[in-house]
Amino acid sequence: MQPFTRITSRVVALLIDNIDTDQIIPARFLKTIHKEGLGQHLFADWRYDPDGRPKPDFPLNRPEARAAHILLVGDNFGCGSSREHAAWALTDFGFRAVISTSFADIFRNNALKNGLLPVVVDAATHRQIGAMVAADPSTVLTLDLAEQSLTLPDGQSVRFPIDAFNQRCLLEGLDELGYLLKQAPLIEAYEAAHPARVDTRMMEE
């Protein structure tokens, strides 16, 4: 996993509440058996017209979105399906962080496992950033994960919460599976004390 330490970037704003993972990556793109290449389909049904041409007024299609690594979205982002393809599509497009007032649980977990930082801010800060980006699309924010700080262009800084374990994994680019594999002796001990509650092997038909 790519480590996340500090980024300074422009912001793309999609200020809609309850953006579900079917919008982030529609289901017809889930027939792939790989993680790569999903960025081209990110927000496909909002971003392209039915003939596949980019809609010029959609925020991701504006020139200032090109080099943006931060996405600003409405409340309860990533609700719905558990598809990790949503996180893969966002990172493949180039996003490193998403700012919202809240995230759906499964999306947040998926984002953290892919080096995509979910940043939760209060409603007032969210409104303020939204207004700044609307007034000046070249507005640049800085996210510092070690400091848990979001810094606005005027130098104002707000602190955002993050689980200490997730913070360490992101800062060092560690993946959770490596950590879990090290628990093998304890997992073996658990299994020795708790016989399997089910055996899924096929029955005689």
Partner 1 sequence: MTSTPRTLFDKIWDDHVVVAEADSPAVLYIDLHLIHEVTSPQAFEGLRRRGLRVRRPHQTVATIDHSIPTTPPEVPIADPQAARQIAQIEVNCRAFGIPLHGIGSATRGIVHVIGPELGLTQPGMTIVCGDSHTSTHGAFGALAFGIGTSEVEHVLATQCLLQRKPRTCQVFIAGYLRKGVTAKDLILGLIAQIGSGGGTGYVFEYAGPAIRALSMEERMTVCNMSIEAGARAGMIAPDDTTFEYLADRPYAPKGAAWDAALQRWRALPSDPEARFDHTITLDATRLEPMITYGTNPAMAIPITGSVPDPADVPDLGERQAREKALRYMGLRPGQPLLGHPVDVVFIGSCTNGRLSDLRQAAHMLRGRRVKAGVRVLVVPGSQSVKRAAEAEGLDRIFREAGAEWRESGCSMCIAMNGDQLQPGQYAVSTSNRNFEGRQGPGGRTFLASPLTAAAAAITGVVTDPRTLLE
Told to check if 102 binds partner 1 by CB under 8 A, we report yes
Site for partner 1 in 137-166 (CB under 8 A): 163-165
DSSP β-bridge partners for residue 54: 48
Shortest CB 154 distance to partner 1, Å: 23
Interface with partner 1: number of residues (CB under 8 A): 61
- Give the strand order in the sheet containing 117-120: 117-120, 97-100, 70-73, 6-14, 140-144, 149-151, 157-159
Told to check if 84 binds partner 1 by CB under 8 A, we report yes
Reported in sequence order, the residue ranges of 20-151 that DSSP labels E, i.e. its strands, are 70-73, 97-100, 117-120, 140-144, 149-151
Told to check if 57 binds partner 1 by CB under 8 A, we report no
Token readout for 191 is 């299994």
Told to check if 128 binds partner 1 by CB under 8 A, we report no
Report CA Rg, the chain.
Answer: 20
Told to check if 192 binds partner 1 by CB under 8 A, we report no
CA pair distance 200, 205, nearest whole angstrom = 14
Residues making contact with partner 1 (CB under 8 A) = 15-18, 20, 22-23, 26-28, 30-35, 45, 50, 74-76, 79-84, 87, 102, 104-106, 109-110, 113-114, 163-165, 175-177, 179-181, 183-184, 186-187, 190-191, 194, 196-203, 205
